[in-house]
Amino acid sequence: MNPLSPFGWLYGLAAKTRNSLYDRQVFKSYSLGVRTISVGNLTTGGTGKTPLVALVASILAESGETVCILSRGYGRKSKAERVLVSDGNTVLCDAVTGGDEPVELAHKLLGKAAVAVSADRVSAAKWVAAKLSPTVFILDDAFQHRRVRRDLDIVCVDSTNPFGNGQILPAGTLRENKENLDRADLMVITRTDLTKDVSDIERELRRLNDHAPIFRSANKISGFVPVDQFIQDTPSDTSAFVKTDSPAMAFCGLGNPSNFFRQLEKEGVDLRGRKTFPDHYFYTQKDIDEVAKKARAVGAECLITTVKDAVRLTGLNLPMPVFVATIETHMADPAEFRAAILS
């Protein structure tokens, strides 16, 4: 028996009680005044959520909406109550101040979406509305954040590890009981390219939720950008992409690092080595020097990392070329997904 199971049971009971209080309207949910879309997940760790947030924001922006992403800014070191990470045209802060994932989204979505962070997303929305007048808010990582009322609740389910070990934190990776997927309005099975068959996952999702559409998605590397150029430009600018035929070593600090390495190998990168760090880890000069030393020892001529990691390299001296792998989400039914987002 997992020694943490009793604590998981207590955590699950607390989540169930909290959900019940929201369902009975004892706890109040607040409207943000404009259309609000939540993108979240049921488990901790990397589920492919951030590329999906970027895709949803792009779809909305291309349809003429003024988009703002609201995030709690997990892992940021700033004590500011709220931070405007991007006004949609300029990235206004670094990862220390705004958090790595919000800054990642800010770089990816220049010209498409603003990004703001705050633990209190209700007050942050009012603050942003006065500055930028968005027509749509996207709540990043908010399936459990029920204080904000939403018009569309999207949940990511990672095909490589959909429900963890089936237990709730801290005994497992579930944030709440999987039966609560019944709250979702739309479900996306992510990383289907790394799984042979997702039909069993679909059947389980349909058992848990008989009304929400289920979409399949795959993450693909759209290109590689030199890290210094990435910080200056938007990664969607394909003119910045370069070839990485040289042997490489990859490093990252992610919730699910193995999927990043598998993605690189799947797309033909000559990967000589890999190094993992804790999720949301802020790199030191010593860290990068040691990674470069190990890379040279295995015959690698460059380093490859993720966008989320790249924003945590600001101010460091890079002893060898570093490339940023820009990852995008591709839907199996893009037209149908677009219609679901815009409806």
At 165 the pLDDT is 85
Give, as one character, the DSSP assignment of residue 28: P
- What is the reported pLDDT for 230? 78
The CATH classification number of 28-218+331-342 equals 3.40.50.300
Q: Provide the pLDDT for residue 232.
A: 67
Report whether pLDDT(239) > 50.
Answer: no
Check residue 235 and give its pLDDT: 46
pLDDT (tens digit per residue) in 291-343: 999 999 999 999 999 999 999 998 899 999 999 999 899 999 999 999 999 98
Q: What is the pTM of this model?
A: 0.92
**pLDDT value of residue 255:** 85
pLDDT tens by residue, 120-169: 999 999 999 999 999 999 999 999 999 999 999 999 999 999 998 889 99
Structure confidence at residue 3 (pLDDT): 85
| pLDDT band for position 276 (cuts 50, 70, 90) | very high
Whole-number Å distance between alpha carbons of 236 and 239? 9
pLDDT for res 164: 84
Weakest mean pLDDT among 196-200, 239-243, 287-291? 239-243
pLDDT cut 90: percent of the chain above it: 78
Q: Which of 59-73, 131-145, 241-255 has the lowest mean pLDDT?
A: 241-255
Looking at domain 221-327, its CATH architecture is: 3-Layer(aba) Sandwich (3.40)
First-to-final CA distance of the chain: 46
Dihedral angle at the C-alpha atoms of 133, 134, 135, 136, nearest 10 degrees? -150
Cis geometry, peptide bond prior to residue 170 (ω within 30 degrees of 0): yes
Say which residues have a Cβ less than 8 Å from residue 286's Cβ, sequence separation at least 6.
none
Residue 76's pLDDT is 86
Q: What is the DSSP letter of 109?
A: T
pLDDT at residue 260 above 90? yes
Q: How many CA atoms lie within 13 A of 256 on its CB side?
A: 22
pLDDT band at 244 (very low <50, low <70, confident <90, very high): low
Adjacent-strand bridge partners of 275: 251
Domains 28-218+331-342 and 221-327 share a fold: yes
166: left (phi over 0), alpha (psi -120 to 50) or beta: left
Q: For the chain, give every domain's residue range.
A: 28-218+331-342, 221-327
pLDDT band (50, 70, 90) for residue 1: low
Task: State the amino acid at position 113 in one-letter form.
Answer: A
Taking the C-alpha atoms of residue 47 and residue 190, their distance in angstroms, rounded to an integer, is 7
Query: pLDDT tens-digit profile of 4-41?
Result: 888 889 999 999 999 999 999 999 999 999 999 999 99
DSSP notation for 127-151? HHHHHH--SEEEEET-TT-TTB--S
Query: Which residue carries 């940021």 as its tokens?
Result: 76
